[in-house]
Amino acid sequence: MMPYCLRLSMIARVAAAAALVLGTGPTVVSATEPCGDFGECKVLIEINATDGDLGFQFLLDGDDLNSGALVDPDGTKIFGEQAKGALKDQKLTETFAESAEPLCWNDPDADPDDEIVTLEEFLERWAPGTYSVRGRGDGGEKSKGETELTHELPAAPGSLAFDGSVISWAAGEDLGRCGSTAELAALVAAGDLPVHPKDLTVAAWEIVLEPDVADGDPTGNLVFTIRVSGGIATKAVTVPADYLASLPNDTPVKIEVGAIGVDDNATFTEVGDFCVNEVEGCD
């Protein structure tokens, strides 16, 4: 799945078009803007409820930087970068990165040596609070900014369906493999979660249709992505016919729908085994 931070600005460019199609005003969740001396910055949690994995992502965007850093609420520097050579001559601007995405459950098909990080352990690792971004320019001038991480995690979308032209879904109740309704209620009761995911407002829905092809197949680059308001009455979007026509016959595709919270934390559900422009059938 494409890292969510990579999609932030791309989704913003298509949200207005989506509003025209759906007849609703766009809700575009964005990074902290401005972010002190930076143009923008963001830290967030992304959950893949279907695969059962958890990730931390961040973005910072400044001007003419030689170095950049991210500092957690305890004051610990958790990421740093330093431009050298030609990159130092040309300077840094936007940086985005994501952590590894450990499984939150004991997948029987996973490598037994893979780390398992439960949701409770993950939340303890990534404390909520103020994360600082820092940068330094040619003359030693410093840039500083701040953004917030919360543990407000929207529930995973459910009932994903695709009829060949329309993608539909429903609001969710849990975090899939990373937390059942009962498990999440226990975390709320223990104070590990501020609110149950099913009770959170969804600020936006992110919908992705992606060819499910082998690595290196150029068809895999033909991805349809759109974001619509979390308040839409009918949870469905129509995939443009021109886009579908651009795909080869018998193209297997998968659907992803993400619930985006007001603080940009995102929970995605994936469903595969769909076939577009079917003639002989998808293998």
pLDDT at 197: 98
Quote the percentage of the chain above a pLDDT of 70. 89
Nearest residue to 210 (alpha-carbon basis) of 226, 199, 195, 197 = 226
pLDDT at 33: 87
Query: Domain residues for 244?
Result: 4-276
Residue 179 CB-half CA count within 13 A = 31
Residue 281 lies in a domain: no
Q: Output the domain CATH number for residue 266.
A: 2.60.40.10
Quote the percentage of the chain above a pLDDT of 90. 83
Element of type H or E holding 139: none
Question: Please, which pLDDT band fits residue 55 given cuts at 50, 70 and 90?
Answer: very high
Q: What is residue 15's three-state secondary structure?
A: helix
pLDDT at 190: 97
Residue 265 lies in a domain: yes
Residue 249 lies in a domain: yes
Q: For residue range 175-222, list pLDDT tens digits in order.
A: 999 999 999 999 999 999 999 999 999 999 999 999 999 999 999 999
Quote the mean pLDDT of the chain.
90
Nearest residue to 258 (alpha-carbon basis) of 4, 53, 56, 14 = 4
Residue 27 lies in a domain: yes
Q: Supply angle C-alpha 228, 94, 223, rounded to 5.
A: 40
Domain count, the chain: 1
Residues near 9 by beta carbon (within 8 Å), at least 6 away in sequence: none
In angstroms, the CA 13 to CA 168 distance is 22
| Helices (H), ranges, 23-159 | 85-90, 119-125
Q: For residue range 158-178, list pLDDT tens digits in order.
A: 999 999 999 999 999 999 999
pLDDT surpasses 90 at 153: yes
Question: What is the torsional sign of CA 39, 133, 4, 231?
Answer: negative
Residue 254 lies in a domain: yes
The pTM for the full model equals: 0.88
Residue 279 falls in which region: left (phi positive, over 0), alpha (psi -120 to 50) or beta: alpha
Residue 22 lies in a domain: yes
